Amino acid sequence: MAYAFSSLSQYYWQNDPFSSGINQKPRERDYDEDEEDFMGIEGKTLLCFCAGVLIICLICCARILHKVQDERSRSDEGQSNSKDPRNHTCSSCSKAEFNLTPNMKLILIFSAIFGATLCLETFVGHQVLRIKTRNEEEVKQLQLLESLEHLELDFWTSPSSPALPVDVRIPTNNIQAVKAFLESHGIKYSILIKDLQVVLDQEKQDMANTQQRERASSTFNYGTYHSLDDIYAELDHLAYEYSDIVCKFEIGRSYENRPLYVLKFSTGGTNRRAIWIDAGIHSREWVTQASAVWIAKKIASSYGQDPFITSLLNKMDIFLLTVTNPDGYVYTHTTNRMWRKTRSRNQGSLCIGVDPNRNWDAGFGGPGASNNPCSDSYHGPRANSEVEVQSVVNFIENHGNIQAFITLHSYSQLLMYPYGYKCTQPADYEELDALGRAAASSIQSLYGTTFTVGSICNTIYQASGGSIDWSYDYGIKYSFAFELRDTGRYGFLLPASQIIPTAQETWLGLEKIMEHVRDNPY
């Protein structure tokens, strides 16, 4: 079946010449019936279901076979002992019928392993290309390529301007076709990652090694990636160890009923001016969640010792949401490392999830967001449809005195302010731009990491339904989005060795922004 759909992609390329077919508008598709979407995007749901059915069938077959063997055994015994009533055993009470032999247990174990392996998304042979365009015409060709959904291309950075490189993950079956297309148009590219699965396997092994050391020492290593449970346990630890200034509370539940935990850093008082920071709204951007936990420790442990943090918390509160999209984050650990969206079900589609940073009520459904549930940029059925987004909105609105809204993303090393859904400058453009540049300078002062500063639309591309556009329109003047390391060498798979340096330099940028917010109430 997978081969059939692979052949379908090849058919498109073989029968649509580059000069004509590639320029055709993608056909409208019914996501209830379209087999391309069914197999290419969420087809593994069916395969996992089939694996489960297979395991159940094997269990039933094993029990039936065992019962037949048991009946034959009793029949043989009955023929020799039928005249002795003392040897009669009721078949319904036969204990052996409910036990599995070692061979049967082995079969079931292998079946379970098979099912788990089938459900795990692998990326063997997938490549990540870096494409550099020279003019607007080449950008348009890449945008057209991006629209061909049957190719299942994962654009890590979208084509928007000749000044910005484009990174794209390509499934194994479509690598040659995409390269042929690029070469036919004279578009230059290089290979960033030759085999994505090799990188993922190394990341997984590094995590396993670190977790072993952590278990032995009973300490939390801020320089590695962690599961959601480990992160939440560390939040509990921080709230306990620094209970004089830190408390943990829940602002809502995710689609799959996981808590959305916020840490509040405060020295007391009610409804004080506050700063909001969140991370991990896109689940595969692991360095953001990891940096947020480091930042939590930095704030908690520095009060009373660091003059800036002490001064800030004496006047303002900080609210930190370390994992904004917990369902997606868990899914990146258990099933698909490249998952970006939430895990909500979409009515009328087999495709799962919504892009939570296209779901806010700010130019909702406009340019830069997709109405295709199978797209990584799907905006959802309506603004705030995602419970994770609505929970943050409710908290911000109920608090009523949030002065800064800061969200952490990766990657590209950018520091951006509104707008994304339109390309006009915000009313506070001059102040936001100057503050962003000051923060970028602070970031660079530590390790020399350079950040590009500007509005979302003018820095990367037009993107509707974003969080900082909503917060700014809501009245939170100091609204910023960070895109952390790197600029594409590793992309979303930033080595764990770069977590702490990334968090340290990000903190310097946050510090500059928060200092300005502290000194400029409005």
Catalytic residues: 483
CA gap 97, 256 in Å, rounded: 38
CA distance 143 to 137: 10
Q: Which tokens in the block code for residue 110?
A: 């292998």
Three-state secondary structure call for residue 129? strand
DSSP conformational letter for 101: -
Residue 498 Cα distances to 146, 284, 447, 495, angstroms: 30, 16, 11, 6
Contact partners, residue 353, CB within 8 Å, separation at least 6: 328, 339, 340, 341, 342, 343, 344, 346, 378
DSSP label at residue 174: G
Integer Cα distance of 236 and 320 in angstroms: 14
Backbone dihedral angles phi then psi of residue 254, each to the nearest 5 degrees: -75, 175
Assigned token pair, 260: 């959305």
Tokens representing 305 are 């010792």
Nearest-angstrom CA–CA distance, 322 and 225: 13
Helix (H, G, I), strand (E, B) or coil at 171: coil
In the beta sheet, which residues pair with residue 169? 128, 154
Q: Can you name the residues that pair with 275 across neighbouring β-strands?
A: 318, 404
Say if CB 411 and CB 487 are below 8 A apart.
yes
Q: How far is CA 292 from CA 175, 233, 337, 442, 506, in A?
A: 36, 14, 19, 18, 10
What does the alpha-carbon distance between residue 374 and residue 32 come to, in Å, rounded to a whole number? 11
Residue 36 CA to residue 9 CA, distance in Å, equals: 9
Half-sphere exposure in the Cβ direction for 445 (13 Å, CA): 11
Alpha carbons 455 and 384: distance in angstroms, whole number:
23
- CA 64/CA 60 separation, integer angstroms: 6
> 430-449 as b/e, with b when 16 or more CB fall inside 10 Å?
eebbebbebbbebbbeeeeb
CA 319, chain centre distance (Å): 22
**Which residues are 151's β-sheet partners?**
none
CA atoms within 13 A of residue 227's CA, in its CB half-sphere:
12
